[in-house]
Amino acid sequence: MKDELIKKLRSRGLSVTPQRLAVLGWLASRRDHPTAEQIFHGVRQELPAISFNTIYKTLEVLCRQGLVTKVNPLHEVARYDGSTHHHAHAVCRRCQAILDVDWEPALALSLPADLLPGFRVDGQSVTFWGLCAGCQEKLTTEEE
């Protein structure tokens, strides 16, 4: 695991620091797209002296190099994603849960070149909106 993270960092020309390793490692263990605040609390278990500012800066560097993606569908608060493979998201409007959707057809769209002349697409994201199972259940019980 650690070797792989080191390889990832080096492949993007980034130096290997304990902060970067800790942030990447903690994110890789999560599938819930945490906020910077949550990442800060998580990584602090491993690196107690780390500041929020360092976490934030580390995330920015990792995002710039494509090792982490920022998911920001609903609110001002960015959510971070440690899985860098191309995937879609499903977002719950109520509790803001962000779920990964690994469904090829959602990602297979490509923009016809004549639609936006001169524009070179280098990324796309697909988001489905709705209510997660937990929230649907809560809504039914609240209505009763």
Q: Is 94 in the site for Zn ion (CB under 5 A)?
A: yes
Q: Of 20 and 33, which CB lies nearer to Zn ion in the complex structure?
A: 33
Q: Which of 34, 81, 88, 91 binds Zn ion (CB under 5 A)?
A: 81
Q: Of 54 and 65, which CB lies nearer to Zn ion in the complex structure?
A: 65
Contact mark string toward Zn ion, 25..64, x via CB under 5 A = ----------------------------------------
Give yes or no for a contact between 101 and 90, defined as CB atoms under 8 angstroms apart.
yes
Q: Is 92 in the site for Zn ion (CB under 5 A)?
A: yes
Specify the stretch interacting with Zn ion by CB under 5 A; choose among 10-18, 44-52, 104-112, 135-143.
Answer: 135-143
Which residues of this protein are in contact with Zn ion, per CB under 5 A? 81, 92, 94-95, 97, 100, 132, 135
